[in-house]
Structure 1
């Protein structure tokens, strides 16, 4: 899923005529790919710094919940014009808070120790306050996009520093997709063909992230792995 999965502009067509059932069903595919990738990313951070795992896991679950809520809203609209705005509106708050937690966890894992968490919590909270004050989701959209981008950039830096250029490129694709797809999805009117192209592209982007996350899990050693190395080399932690 990407931060621009929901449309922020008024459209001149009836939302109930905008999505086909097949298109709405396909929207679950990138959501599930992203959900699995984020769970694996949370697990990877916990291998390196166990204390961050619970928050990282919660972040992954929150992001996935937001994506599933939006996909459910879309299928309900497509299958019978059953409109439940709360399902669509959950997306940006979930992405903003969930991605912020994951960025904190991944940066902690990169450092090898737990970072101070409050700056990462303040950002989405401030965005939520701004959204309530403005009566618009734009602040939360920005927070979600920034946090998702930071997650992808951090992962890419880790991969490139490890000499894994292909893995780094996968995360770069994720970052580009995170920032380009929202602007495409926000255009006022789109044909079904264009929407299919956007969703399939999003699916490919999330698959890239999943492949990268699988590498991250292998890259970060567990405490047992590190102790094994110390015992073999005679070094001390």
Structure 2
């Protein structure tokens, strides 16, 4: 689905169903150097079970025109403009990694637009190693390789994919490698520079879920749970034997956790 936002062509997947603004809306926000394909299983289930789905390619990422906003705060202010463009007043937000920071800041800055918030692969601060940033700034493939080495649980490096004949590490490397190097570097800078999460947490009034991988080295589950103490009674879910990329490492369990949270009466009503 193509959407015009501020004069730019933005792409969003709809889970195989036409987008219907009359239905409850759910917006999936990808992480750094990713795109809408991160959410293939989850978007399809929600689209076929009563929700209208948008899995957006953020500006300057995937198939969407740039430029990419240069801060988490700027991206958070862009989200309501996307919702306006499709005629949606309020949506549930599901964000992964950088997308989780965007979702958090959106819910704080624009509470009237967010029905519920699910933070996947989340931690704060989301610091970036200076050497990794330098590699990304130089456009070096090593930045992509190191990112994936840390992102996936060790078991996911050597097999375990539930789809026969596919290689999780290889597909993740390919996705991140095709992302513009400038977007990868900027995404790292945005995550590293974001310092408003604690203030944002105090302003959030919608239901919140934190979904972590027990073996996530990038955004450890313990750090996510510690941050959860700043929120009002968040739902905390931790997936066993799972790293940072839970949508692919544990796709069914990720979907089950999202379903349980978003099916709550206070959210879906």
Alignment TM-score > 0.5, same fold: no
Higher relative contact order (CA 8 A, sep 6+): 1
The structure that is helix-richer by fraction is 1
The structure that is strand-richer by fraction is 2
Task: Give 1 or 2 for the bigger CA radius of gyration.
Answer: 1
TM-score (norm 1): 0.28
TM-score (norm 2): 0.26
